[in-house]
Structure 1
Amino acid sequence: MPRRKGAPEVNAGSMADIAFLLLIFFLVTTTIETDAGLDRMLPPIEPPEQDVVIKQKNIFTVNINRNGQLLVEDNLMEMKDLRKAATAFLENGADGSCTYCKGKKDPSSSDNPSKAIISLKNDRETKYSTYITVQNELVGAYNDLRNREAQRLYGRDFTKMEAEYLNPETPSSVRDDLKDKVKRIQDMFPQKLSEAETSTD
């Protein structure tokens, strides 16, 4: 009596190749989203050697409540007016030491761009979109002033100069040339944007 043949075997030798090809395919075609954040420089860990005294008039306070309303320097303000108010504060130049400032030199406002600080405080229930919009307006005030001075000194916008300087594909010779220019404009209007502790009430 002839022997019965067993169940046919499946050739699994190529399965590993197929799995490997699928893995490569998904690695190549899949895009990984990266979260965009806010560009902020954190304060140094070391405490300052001496206490720094800041005059109240050199602080521009911006509060956002849970309803998205702005309280700027204890006055209600529309979002569309925020950038103009911040710009006027930053270049006020009350002490007369700022030769490039075009402000009103109001003695009750900031002395100098290097001393001017913008303090932002928001409620815990503030909408994220409102918070980002306020941030954009405040940073926009700095960029407007920096662009103005970069145009005056170098004939081009600061934001474009900075983007080119920070681009890793920019040739080192160009970056070396831009380094001092970017730093000079940054020093003219240093970005001092402080975020106060979030309000919980």
Structure 2
Amino acid sequence: MQFKLVAFGLALLIIGLVTYASIPAVHTTPIVNEQFVWVQKGVLVQGPGLYETPKNITLFPGTNNTLHVNVTQSQPTGGSSSLRFELYELNKSQTCPAAGESTILIDRSVSDKQPFNLTLTSEGTYCFVFDNQHSQSSSSIDISAWVSSRTDKVLVARDGSANTAGLGLGALGLVVALWGYSRKSIIPWE
């Protein structure tokens, strides 16, 4: 047995295994969930008038949920309109909208094509309102509304290049240690 080779091989083996075990490779995979709330084309909003509809929205648990609403407005008669989009959270009432019992979340005018995004914190019934009371012409609305959530799945593995190098160094150390153990000792005084 050649002690220097065995010691050197064991040192390489230990350094390789410590390198393999102490350097994690972190893999992050995004997970996106989506569910449609309301998709409809050609909703006619008379002028002057209101179009109201309640929609039940269920959230994805344990994540941040975003409501996306795309509204496209067109004028069948070619006139101009002062259409407003309003979104209410219905607290205790199930009627659309109950003054004083509803929380208004969005109140904006709608141009030709308008996206709205809103972070939701509670599920329940929400009231979608198209207000065309200040116009004499009707508007046609295409709407798509959906809830999305995004989470990141994190996986810690030992499959990185440093881990592979550590395993290779450990294997080399094992070979050197075994080779040194199998060699005949050199005794200088013989």
Shorter-chain TM-score: which interval? under 0.3
State TM-score, norm by structure 1: 0.25
Higher helix share: 1
Flag the structure with larger Rg. Answer: 2
Structure with higher RCO (Cα < 8 A, 6+ apart): 2
State TM-score, norm by structure 2: 0.26
